[in-house]
C-alpha cells in the first residue's frame, strides 16, 4: 500500500484550533493490520450493529490471531453463514449480542465457530 501524508496534529471535533502543519507518512497497512497473515476484510450487511457504528456496506478488518474474549466484536460462522456480533458470556456460555434493540442476544450454537475478531471498521462518509 502507498504511504499517505499524515499530519501528526489531531483535528478537533469541537472548537477549532490552528494546526501546526507537521507532516509525516502513514502506511495504512501498518495502521489497519496487526497480523497480516491472519487478517482478512469483508463487508457488513444489515443493520444489527449500527449501535456501535457498523453500517450496511462498511468494510470490516478481521484478525483471526486476536484473542477471543467477552466484549469483542467477532465474526462467527453459524450454519455456514457469517454474522457480526458482540461476544458475551452469559450463564457460563458464549452468546452473541447485536447492537440493536430489535434483536435479542442468543447462545452461540455448538457447531458454530468464532472466525475472527473485528479490529477496524471502515465507513464511507460519502455514501448517501
Task: List, for the chain, all residue ranges whose pLDDT scores fall below the cut of 50.
Answer: none
Predicted pLDDT at 127? 77
Q: Which residues contact 50 (CB under 8 A, 6 or more apart)?
A: 99, 100
Q: Which residues contact 90 (CB under 8 A, 6 or more apart)?
A: 105, 107
The structural domains of the chain, with segments of one domain joined by +, span 1-32, 34-122
Predicted pLDDT at 28? 82
Q: What is the pTM of this model?
A: 0.82
Which residues are known catalytic residues?
A: 48, 85
Predicted pLDDT at 115? 94
Predicted pLDDT at 25? 77
Predicted pLDDT at 62? 94
Predicted pLDDT at 8? 65
How do beta strands 59-63 and 39-43 pair? antiparallel
Predicted pLDDT at 85? 98
The architecture in CATH of the region 34-122 reads Ribbon (2.10)
Amino acid at each position: 500500500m502507498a504511504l499517505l501524508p499524515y499530519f501528526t496534529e489531531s483535528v478537533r471535533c469541537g472548537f477549532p484550533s490552528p494546526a501546526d502543519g507537521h507532516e509525516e507518512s502513514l502506511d495504512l497497512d501498518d495502521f489497519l493490520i496487526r497480523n497480516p497473515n491472519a487478517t482478512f476484510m469483508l463487508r457488513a450487511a444489515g443493520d444489527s450493529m449500527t449501535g456501535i457504528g457498523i453500517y450496511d456496506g462498511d468494510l470490516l478488518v478481521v484478525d483471526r490471531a486476536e484473542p477471543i474474549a467477552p466484549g469483542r466484536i467477532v465474526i462467527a460462522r453459524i450454519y455456514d453463514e457469517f454474522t457480526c456480533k458482540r461476544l458475551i458470556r452469559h450463564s457460563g456460555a458464549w452468546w452473541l449480542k447485536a447492537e440493536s434493540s430489535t434483536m435479542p442476544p442468543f447462545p452461540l450454537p455448538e457447531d458454530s465457530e468464532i472466525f475472527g475478531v473485528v479490529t477496524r471498521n471502515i465507513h464511507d462518509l460519502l455514501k448517501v
